[in-house]
Amino acid sequence: MCGIIGYIGNKKASNVILNGLKRLEYRGYDSCGIASIFNDIEVRKNVGKVLEVSEKENFPEMNGNIGIGHSRWATHGKITKDNSHPHFDCTKEICIAHNGIISNYKELKETLIQNGHIFTSETDTEVIPHIIEEELKKFNELNEENYILGIQNAIKRLKGTYALLILHKKFPDMLVGIRNESPLILGISKEECFIGSDISAFLDYTKTAIPLNDMDIAVFNKKGGKNIDLKLLNNGKIVKRDVLKLDWDIESAEKGGFEHFMLKEIMEEPEILKNSIEISKGEIEELSKAVNNCDKIYITAMGTSLHAGMVFEYWFSKLGKLVIPIDSSEFLIKGIVDEKTLVIGITQSGETYDTIKALKYAKEKGAKTATIVNVLGSTATREADITIMMGSGIEIAVCATKTFMSQLVILYRLFIEYGKNIGIDMSSYEKELLNIPKYISKVLNERENIKELSKNLNAKNYLFVSKGINLPNALEGALKFKEITYLHAEGMSSSFLKHGTISLIDENMDTVALLPPTNSELFSSVTSNIEEIMARKGKVISISPIKNDELTIKVPDVLEEISPFIYAPVCQLLAYYKAVELKRDVDKPRGLAKSVTVE
């Protein structure tokens, strides 16, 4: 979940790493640190966000042209200076930054303490430099070859997930990176190289990238010259990996005049969806054929991506095809998978731990796999048989907005393609596909009205309710609301209220109701449920195609099948404006990270 970056070149490493950490801060922001080599290894780190720590520790003052950096999202140990990365071994000659979780660290730590090692933190990470230290002591001579061999032997003792960056005082011209089930990608140019958790860490400097596979070891060696030697190893053998030419522009990660990235990314949705409508045509056709050849389909995803999969379930039910959306962390427990199963993993980052694990499990069982993803070269793209890019561009805010909309577009296109494949007239759905960006623009033009209406949300507890194809949007609306306002919210079917939850309704519980389009047979049903809430003095803000009162947010009255596209931005904006009113850190909500790369 943390962000790591390494640099080797001719620039001042601390400046490059500081810039990269700012780009990676969405992955973790409770503490950070930098290590660089200049005669000795110097580490500066502290609690706080990147710029706060830089001001405390004066990162730009650090010397050296080789270094590593880390922005932490705490998993083991409290948020303290000692627990922040990078970490040393006993000799202070080996220094590492780590993203992931070492699951057997307790056993390793006990053994290391018995062997005389002294620990200064509560983290699982700190066992790693001490294990490397032990392995290197086994050699009579510590040369470069033995150094790499010692690292290889050390990681064999680790269980869990890790992306590692390693510095050694005795090898001041070398930077080593290792990947195992945690994202790590190289950025390459002739005179400088980068290695980071995410492409955005080095897009300012190069658009040439090499994604690493599991158990790859990248060894950068400067050896005093301008050019840098790169060697990639796996199981002790030299390997080659694909080189990617990136077309992302780092300017797309700037706020563009908006107060927050989240608002900017919501406002980008109409334009982004035009791209999502056009890309990956061949891959969607291929996936549609795979749907036709399977007995059952699972959508495996987490959080927002899972809600997109739930909408897909409703679309495919209209074509008589059963789709089972399933929480990825539950997939290994209850997924029934064989050679006639199709498993589609949806993950914005392509690195979501539980979804990657589900895809690997499905492949082991002989299932056909696909992924819908936003990051080229991510783990999901290499695990799945079929990769469909979402085309959302970089999304900086932790809260997923435009990527959710892109996921819906890709799934809606798959719905259309499969319907055509089985001989159903999908022309009305195809026509509306092209109108979706226009409809969303109309919704976004009402953002000032939504802002004013959000001020009427004054409770501490909230319900988001709907029925049918917008039930997933009620779940998603509640998720958005609680993750950035820090107020309790839950989503459910409006009919489910009377089966227990309606007992909570009073003047202290506000409800956001998503009324279906007027062409839906569910419109009157949801309306009736709202009346039951109001009869119990519950305040209701309705998102509706019909303006009922001053607490109604009016949206275009569209075909029911595309209504999820229209209702989602309203829920996003309600959450955003309420969070701003409450002075929350909208782009970096507490306790959350953009890419969940641990279990």
Question: Angle formed by the axes of helices 447-454 and 563-581, to 10°?
Answer: 50
Q: Where are the beta strands (DSSP E) in 522-579?
A: 539-544, 552-554
- Would you call 426 helix, strand, or coil by DSSP? coil
Q: Are 314 and 277 in contact (CB under 8 A)?
A: no
**Given the structure tokens 């050679």, which residue do they identify?**
339
Cα–Cα separations (whole angstroms), residue 89 to 7, 94, 118, 140? 21, 6, 8, 19
Catalytic status, residue 2: yes
181 phi/psi in degrees, rounded to 5: 65, 15
Contacts of residues 245-251 at CB distance under 8 Å and 24 or more positions apart, as own/partner, are 245/207, 245/208, 246/199, 246/203, 246/207, 246/208, 246/209, 246/376, 247/207, 248/199, 248/200, 248/203, 248/207, 248/393, 248/394, 249/203, 250/200, 250/203, 250/204
CA-CA distance, 525 to 522, in Å (whole number)? 5
CA-CA distance, 536 to 12, in Å (whole number)? 65
CA-CA distance, 517 to 58, in Å (whole number)? 56
CA-CA distance, 345 to 352, in Å (whole number)? 10
Catalytic residue chosen out of the listed positions 2, 95, 399, 571: 2
Q: Are 370 and 343 in contact (CB under 8 A)?
A: yes
Catalytic residue chosen out of the listed positions 321, 360, 368, 594: 594
Angle at 63 between CA 62 and CA 69, to 5 degrees: 60
Catalytic status, residue 169: no
CA-CA distance, 357 to 457, in Å (whole number)? 39
- Would you call 436 helix, strand, or coil by DSSP? helix
**Given the structure tokens 């829920």, which residue do they identify?**
571
Which residues have a catalytic role annotated? Answer: 2, 594
